[in-house]
Structure 1
Amino acid sequence: MTRAASVLRRLDECDRWLYGVVGRWSAPLLDEPLRKVTQLADFSKPWFLVAGALGVLGGPRGRRAAVTGLAAVGVTSLVVNQPLKALGGRRRPDRGVLGAPQPRWVRMPTSGAFPSGHAASAAAFTVAAGDVLPALRPVLGAAASVVAFSRVYTGVHYPSDVLVGAAVGMLVGRLVGGAAVRWVPAPG
């Protein structure tokens, strides 16, 4: 076995172990709320809702943050759901075998698992909108973290799927947010 294959095998073992740790964690009071969070996050709905609120209530800077955040979500979704998932080629976890309790389950997506599009979009919106309105960062960051964790908790992603998705989203969010701050004139 090559060194690279050995490293990848160990990373996969660690990922499966962490998935099992989350699966064995007994927190029945979180089952329903985290299932609802992960379902709400389908199709980036939370970020559209936040953008709508910013557009209506946030004045010119809020509208700028909303547009910038949604632009980052769009770019991230394209990058993650097209080339990266195709290249990743990772199948979703077998929840029954790996220990995610059935009361937590949501509908298993049919797309590849790697990287997590939910985590990527959440991170992209948070970083890009936060570049325009830094006061939003803590609240958006907390919301994005809950969405990302919910994907492992409900059994539809391995932890590394979520971590890599969030990293991709942060990178794209920083690029889009930085471009908006540098090149788009600030509202008067």
Structure 2
Amino acid sequence: MRLLTRSREADRVLTQQAASRIPPGVAKVLSGVEEAAESTKLWCGAAVAMAWFGGWRGRKAAAAGLGALVVAQLAANGLCKQLADRPRPPEEWIPHDEVADRPASSSFPSGHTAAAVAFTAAVAPAWPAAGVLCAVPAVLVAVERVQSGAHYPTDVVAGASIGLASAWLTRRAPALLLRHWL
């Protein structure tokens, strides 16, 4: 019980700090990156660029990233949000007007973060330089989800965990299937 109480208090403190201490100029950048990531546009664009300019390695990285992204979206938005009915952070915690722009779905987990981390974590082994480049907007998306009041920090951590698990599963699935069937 104490752990749950501590987690809730940490969520409150971190959400309020992120919403009130990030300078307006930085918040605009975060918002722009999140808007680009909306409906996975940013990640699909990155996959197209990797496939177009990266040759065989780029196509492999793009396919891995998109595969992991789909798994993460299905897990986060298709399953977890349906099972967890967590309300968004209270409006009084958020001292700016972005709070009015929040989705109505469950707060848990962050689907944006799940997609960003899944794509990045799947791209990195196939093309490390592209993975590093993708990590920058992935981190910005995660921070923005808390700063805007759309998610609690624990929602973002859960989304990142789903993203990492999706990337791992996508990378390991072919070998697991072959071992099972052979």
Give 2:158's aligned residue. 164
Q: Which amino acid aligns with 1:123?
A: V
Distance in 2 (CA, whole Å) between partners of 1:25 and 1:133 is 35
2:121 aligns with one of 106, 127, 132: 127
Give 1:113's aligned residue. 107
| Pairs aligned (count) | 178
1:92 aligns with one of 88, 103, 111: 88
1:17 aligns with one of 13, 20, 27: 13
Could you say if the C-alpha distance between residues 168 and 144 of structure 1 is closer, same or farther in structure 2, counting changes exceeding 3 Å? same
Distance in 1 (CA, whole Å) between partners of 2:17 and 2:126 is 37
Q: Conserved in 1, the CA contact under 8 Å of 2:94 and 2:148? A: no
Q: Conserved in 2, the CA contact under 8 Å of 1:65 and 1:130? A: yes
Could you say if the C-alpha distance between residues 181 and 50 of structure 1 is closer, same or farther in structure 2, counting changes exceeding 3 Å? farther
Give 1:8's aligned residue. 4
Structure 1 vs Structure 2 CA RMSD: 2.1
Give 2:48's aligned residue. 52
Distance in 1 (CA, whole Å) between partners of 2:152 and 2:175 is 34
Secondary structure, aligned partner of 1:41: helix
Structure with higher helix content: 2
TM-score by length of 2: 0.89
Secondary structure, aligned partner of 2:103: coil
Unpaired runs of 5+ in structure 2? none
Unpaired runs of 5+ in structure 1? none
Give 1:101's aligned residue. 96
Q: Which amino acid aligns with 1:98?
A: W
Q: Which amino acid aligns with 2:19?
A: G
Between the aligned residues of both structures, percent identity stands at 35
Q: Which amino acid aligns with 2:8?
A: D
Q: Tell which deviates more after alignment, 83-92 or 109-118.
A: 83-92
Distance in 2 (CA, whole Å) between partners of 1:167 and 1:180 is 21
Distance in 1 (CA, whole Å) between partners of 2:47 and 2:175 is 17
Distance in 2 (CA, whole Å) between partners of 1:33 and 1:106 is 18
Structure 2 matches for 1:125-164, cutoff 5 A? 125-164=119-158
> Do structure 1's residue 33 and structure 2's residue 29 form an aligned pair?
yes
Shift of 1:174: 1.9
Could you say if the C-alpha distance between residues 116 and 144 of structure 1 is closer, same or farther in structure 2, counting changes exceeding 3 Å? same
2:171 aligns with one of 167, 177, 187: 177
TM-score by length of 1: 0.86
Distance in 2 (CA, whole Å) between partners of 1:59 and 1:156 is 38
